Amino acid sequence: MHKKIVLTGDRPTGPLHLGHYVGSLKNRVILQETCQQFVMLADVQALTDNFHQPQKIRENILEVALDYLAVGIDSKKTTIFIQSLIRALPELTMYYLNFVTWNRLKHNPTVKQEIVQKNFGESVPAGFMIYPVSQTADITAFRADIVPVGDDQLPMIEQCNEIVRHFNRAYNTQVLVEAKAMVSRVPRLPGIDGKAKMSKSLGNAIYLSDPEDVIAKKVKGMYTDPNHLRVEDPGQVEGNPVFVYLDAFDPDQENLAEMKAHYQRGGLGDSVVKKRLNEVLQAELEPIRLRRQEFAKDPGAIMNLLLEGSDKASETADATLRDARKAMCLDYR
């Protein structure tokens, strides 16, 4: 029986945060027990909007790898690799560009949203516009069946599968495999400012590597219900970031239900709710932070792990590229 193959990854533009943790990292730890899993450090994709600061990407390769290992992703069970070291990926991207129109790329909802978020205006780098195609190469090179994503990435998986179908139909082949998105129970977390999803670029994130005092300070300053001005006032739970985080992390859901009811009828202050959230997050993140500190003592070993994983990933991607070239009658050797 075919063993399910998982492809997932992150852009190394900074350390990972709670949004990554509940959105995909927890799933990756579970999936590595039953699936063949590839986890990618997407440095090429990160350069599409960070091309002027490559050193930032280089430095954060190690930071993100440390986060992976700290949450429990095991390099003996999961192949962790660096995108730019897989030479088959840009070649596959070039071939796939023939199967998507510029108009389709422009109207991809995720791309449109990120263009606005990054304030590109009319100066959108072409490399950024085609990253759905590059992502298709990343997924199909490993013939991934499953791709854990946030719900904002669902249009990307849809576009990937469109390209897969066009390619297979054009060359009368089944070389490429369609992927199924896996969305977490908590597909996204709002930022601590309550204005958007948690994001490194927006500065509204709690990071897995944040020390205890920083977490406490961030939780204390979190946005809540703006109409909950006095303790005795009824408060709103829906859309309140503090309660969204508690829904995601609090192991005592029975107590949380009582806290929500109390907040809604009035008489429960924001400081009490934030105190509970701080306790929950400190308990969740302390073991991750301690493991991270241990792994960080030997950065050379981490880089060797990534290079070994990249060699292994290259073998898989090269095999897919050979099959794709054969289907396209480009197998001259």
For 217-222, what is the mean pLDDT?
A: 96
Token pair recorded at residue 271: 């400081």
Q: What is the pLDDT of residue 187?
A: 65
pLDDT of res. 178: 97
Contacts of 29 by beta carbon, 8 Å cutoff, 6+ apart: 71, 72, 73
Please give the pLDDT value at position 199.
79
Residue ranges of the chain that CATH labels 1.10.240.10: 212-293
pLDDT confidence of residue 319: 98
Q: What is the mean predicted confidence (pLDDT) over 286-309?
A: 97
pTM to 2 decimal places = 0.91
Considering only 3-17, 111-125, 242-256, which range has the smallest mean pLDDT?
A: 111-125
Average pLDDT, the chain: 93
If pLDDT is split at 50, 70 and 90, which confidence band does 116 have? confident
DSSP tally for the chain: helices H, then strands E = 15, 5
- Say how far apart CA 58 and CA 302 lie, in whole Å: 14
- In this predicted model, which residue has the larger pLDDT, 61 or 110? 61
Q: Does domain 5-189+299-327 have CATH number 3.40.50.620?
A: yes
Q: Of 157-166, 222-231, 320-329, where does mean pLDDT reach its minimum? A: 222-231
* pLDDT confidence bin for 200, thresholds 50/70/90: confident
Closest CA to 273 of 291, 255, 299: 255
pLDDT at residue 66 tops 70:
yes
Rounded distance between C-alpha atoms, residue 303 and residue 240, angstroms: 40
- pLDDT at 171 > cutoff 70: yes
pLDDT of residue 212: 97
Per-residue model confidence as pLDDT tens digits over 7-62: 999 999 989 999 889 878 988 999 999 999 999 999 999 998 888 899 999 999 99
Percentage of the chain exceeding pLDDT 90: 77
**Pick from 247, 241, 202: which is nearest to 224 by CA?**
241
Residue 170 has pLDDT above 90, yes or no: yes
How far apart (Å, rounded) are the C-alpha atoms in residues 206 and 218? 7
The pLDDT value recorded for residue 282 is 97
pLDDT for 180: 95
Asked if 63 contacts 11 with a C-beta cutoff of 8 angstroms, the reply is no
Residue 198 Ramachandran class (φ > 0 left, ψ -120 to 50 alpha, else beta): beta
Q: What's the rounded mean pLDDT across residues 281-287?
A: 97
What per-residue confidence (pLDDT) applies to 270? 95
CATH of the domain spanning 212-293: 1.10.240.10
List where CATH 3.40.50.620 sits in the chain.
5-189+299-327
